[in-house]
Amino acid sequence: MPAVINAFRLTAVTLVAGATWVCAVPDALAAQTPPGGGIGEGSGSGADTSASAGVDGNKVSSTVAGAIVIDRSKNGIGESAGAVTSTNSWTPPACYYAPKYTPKELEAQMRQVWSSSAPSPEWALKTQNYFVNGDPYKDFNKGKAGQGYWWDSYVTEGREADPASEDCDKQPFWVGKGDAPPADTPQAITPETLAQLAYAEIRVPSTMMSLAPDGTTKVNLPTWAWLNAAKFKPVSVTASVPLLGISATTTAEPVSLTIRPGTDDAVTYPASGQCATRNGQIGEPYAKGKAGETPPCGAKYLRSSGDGSYKLQATLTWKISWTSTTGQGGNLPDGTFGADQDVVVQEIQAINR
């Protein structure tokens, strides 16, 4: 990537205690802290752009008021909760563009770079022409302070090594308040992008099942399986950009459970292995008197596990949809989350006399 681009790549790093936006500049400046900070900090203009970092319950806010704010207060909880995986090859965007700097903040950032020995004279001249000398911007657009923001690229957390993160290689560009970003910038933040970023933050409960018999069963004895339905309610995450006044909420709703016994020497109930969600219930708890019945969700092992055990896998499929403050919305690819548990299968020995 050309040096003129490297100076402006921004990586969004979401932390448990908040979100920090790290600016990647030439190597000689990599360890230095930019003097301008983000929107609402340092030498910025200040007017209704302030922001504070931290956690309010499960709501994680960014130190940059113009960046993404993630509200996880309606997300799944618990030690074993985890992220859903798309049922196809779809993933949220690896990078995107969003507001980053006021004119004064970008000036402070760039003058620090120019005063160092890192950039080449050619690079320094090119960027000075771009931001200062009217090709195409004049004096960092300071004459338009309060009327818009400098947008720059962000890399989604965990996607730093993804080649797709290199797609956001434009230099910072100016977007006036109320204006749409340039048409040739498909990665510019939108409500749908926010919904996709929220998708990556969805957390759902563990699928460790209740079994009867529990842990140890017998050959040819149906094993009943069910989940605590109270845990499996819709969960949601909201992502927003306060400076743009837009937000999107992504909701995950449990649809069906797929069980795999962990061996070919078994049958599942139902035969497809897919236990539907009915009236908020997944499977059915075993009760006294049901020994002769076929479980609506479960398995029957045909061979002993010997000295070991079988890995019973339960994977829950979640339907994912989104809505936004703009009225836009729709569906995103279904997500799955599963867990394994050990099942010991013993063979009953009988002696014929």
Three-state SS at 146: coil
Residue-wise pLDDT tens digits, 39-96: 543 323 222 223 333 344 444 433 333 478 999 999 988 778 899 999 999 999 999 9
Q: For residue 167, what is the DSSP state? A: G
CA angle 276, 281, 287 (to 5 degrees): 110
38: pLDDT confidence band, cut at 50, 70 and 90?
low
Which position has the token pair 């230099």?
Answer: 171
Distance CA 311, CA 200 (A): 28
Distance CA 103, CA 131 (A): 10
CA angle 154, 166, 90 (to 5 degrees): 85
* Residues 94 and 165 sit within 8 Å (Cβ to Cβ): yes
Query: What's the mean pLDDT when you consider all of the chain?
Result: 82
| The pLDDT value given to residue 144 | 96
HEC secondary structure over 273-310 = CEEEEECCEEECCCCCCCCCCCCCCEEEECCCCCCCCE
* Residues 38 and 11 sit within 8 Å (Cβ to Cβ): no
User: Which tokens go with 118?
Assistant: 């890192």
Asked if the model's pLDDT at residue 36 lies above 80, the reply is no
CA angle 165, 86, 153 (to 5 degrees): 20
Spell out the residues 6+ positions from residue 72 whose beta carbon is closer than 8 angstroms to its own.
58, 59, 60, 201, 203, 237
Which position has the token pair 């599963």?
Answer: 338
Top pLDDT among 325 and 353 is at 325
Q: For residue 144, what is the DSSP state? A: G
| The pLDDT value given to residue 4 | 38
Asked if the model's pLDDT at residue 123 lies above 90, the reply is yes
CA angle 124, 8, 137 (to 5 degrees): 60
| The pLDDT value given to residue 146 | 94
Spell out the residues 6+ positions from residue 142 whose beta carbon is closer than 8 angstroms to its own.
103, 104, 107
Of 226-235, 244-253, 340-349, the range with the lowest mean pLDDT is 226-235
349: pLDDT confidence band, cut at 50, 70 and 90?
low
* Residues 130 and 113 sit within 8 Å (Cβ to Cβ): no
How many whole angstroms from its chain centre is CA 237? 9
Distance CA 253, CA 298 (A): 22
Q: What is the mean pLDDT of residues 262-285?
A: 89
- What is the pTM (predicted TM-score) of this model? 0.79
Top pLDDT among 27 and 209 is at 209
* Residues 54 and 17 sit within 8 Å (Cβ to Cβ): yes
User: Which tokens go with 74?
Assistant: 């309606």
- In percent, the amount of the chain with pLDDT more than 70 equals 80
Q: Could you give the dihedral angle defined by the CA atoms of residues 51, 52, 54 and 58, in that order, rounded to the nearest 10 degrees?
A: -40
Ramachandran bin of 196, using left for φ above 0, alpha for ψ from -120 to 50, beta for the remaining angles:
alpha
